[in-house]
Copies of this chain bind each other. A is one copy, B any other.
Amino acid sequence: MIVETKICNVTRPFALESGAVLPCIDIAYETYGTLNQAGDNAILIEHALSGDAHAAFFHEGDKKPGWWDLMIGPGKAFDTDKYFVVCSNVIGGCKGTTGPASINPETGKAWGLSFPVISIRDMAEVQRELLSHLGIKRLLSVVGGSMGGMQALQLFGDYTGMTDSFIAIATALKHSAQQIAFNEVGRRAIMSDPRWNDGDYYGGVSPEAGLSVARMIGHITYLSEQMMQEKFGRSKKTANIKNVFKPSFEIEHYLDYQGISFVKRFDANSYLYITNAVDNFDLITSLSGPTRTCGKNRARGKVVDLGSKKGLVVTFSSDWLYPPSQGRDIVKFFTALNVRVSYTEIETDHGHDAFLTDTGSLTEIVKGFLSGL
């Protein structure tokens, strides 16, 4: 099936959690399946750091489907014969939704670093805006892995009244010092690249070298130590004689390739804004503090009967970026709020990437959870 990314233009000002206001925003999104008459079969999928609105099926002419095609489609975990699935690109991103590479209508130039700081809550708010635009008043579930899981938890926590359940995969309530540290080194690599030029590189050459290093660091954390060893070990390709420090081990070539392919499809400033949002995400504080948004149907307000809500938390045994212990913290937090939370740790050697690559058990678990709603 061929799909395309659509754009929802929000032409009125959009206020962010920081207090800053964007004069207007675009929201890139895709939908799969059909919203039923009762309007109660919608599932919102949230993407991870480098994802986008294209979660499933094929774009015209593409050889690769969307990033979660293994999970979304007829008969799959998110069965498009049953559910109406929505996925949108996050605010601050670079795949159609307004971000630092977008044109600031007030200056006619790319925002760059004048783009306001964004948060995970802002990402969730933008998605709620999209749902409203699509006429979706209620979500059967809000779902995400990694940073997507953070958005899912934020949206569920902020708007429990409109959300029957959440599915949070390989994610956390907040980043640990080590998780912040990995992101910080990536940001530093970008900002150390002279081509970054304080974020003002649009129209010129982008800081590809720095972004590439950032992505290489990321990839180390996405794979388990064991899988990296099995896949690459100490195997070598022919060494480069002119410069011995060029990649020679297979793992070096792999990281090199990941870096190069990433810079073709991602904006360095978006990487800064999005990782900053992830590092500053702290769900418990966020749900207990004062916010600009309406609190009527929030989990923290306990206006809603949370006992009717369900959650599913999934972790992967070899995920050392978002280890199972962080998944169990999510379970504890929502269980204490009376939400009925299920928890599964999937045995796999795929590491953090398992939510994208090792979807066999995940499919069965998600199917079971959704059918029980």
Residues of A within 8 A of B (CB): 113, 117, 174-178, 180-182, 184-185, 187-189, 191-194, 198, 209-210, 212-213, 216-217, 220, 223, 225, 228-229, 231-234, 243-245, 247, 249-252, 255-256, 259, 272, 276, 279, 282
Contact = CB atoms under 8 A, between A and B. Distances in A.
A225 B178 contact: yes
Contact of A177 (B175, B187, B188, B234): B234
Contacts of A209: 192
A20 to B, nearest CB: 11
A148 to B, nearest CB: 21
Contact of A276 (B175, B225, B245, B259): B245
Contacts of A185: 213, 216-217, 220, 255
A282 B193 CA distance: 34
Given A181-B228, A244-B117, A251-B181, A175 B234 contact: yes
A185 B244 CA distance: 15
Nearest to A245: B272
A182 B245 contact: no
Contacts of A182: 220
A228 B113 contact: no
B177 A232 contact: yes
A176 B233 CA distance: 6
29 contacts: A174-B234, A175-B234, A176-B228, A176-B229, A176-B233, A176-B234, A177-B225, A177-B229, A177-B231, A178-B225, A180-B234, A180-B251, A180-B252, A181-B220, A181-B251, A181-B255, A182-B220, A184-B247, A184-B252, A185-B220, A187-B245, A188-B255, A188-B259, A191-B245, A192-B193, A192-B210, A198-B243, A213-B213, A244-B276
Contact of A234 (B193, B217, B256, B282): B282
B184 A228 contact: no
A178 B226 CA distance: 9
A254 to B, nearest CB: 8
A213 B234 contact: no
Nearest to A117: B244
A212 B184 contact: no
Contacts of A247: 184
Given A180-B249, A181-B228, A213-B213, 19 more contacts: A113-B243, A117-B244, A174-B234, A176-B225, A176-B234, A177-B250, A180-B234, A180-B251, A180-B252, A181-B252, A184-B251, A185-B213, A188-B212, A188-B213, A188-B216, A188-B256, A189-B192, A189-B213, A245-B272
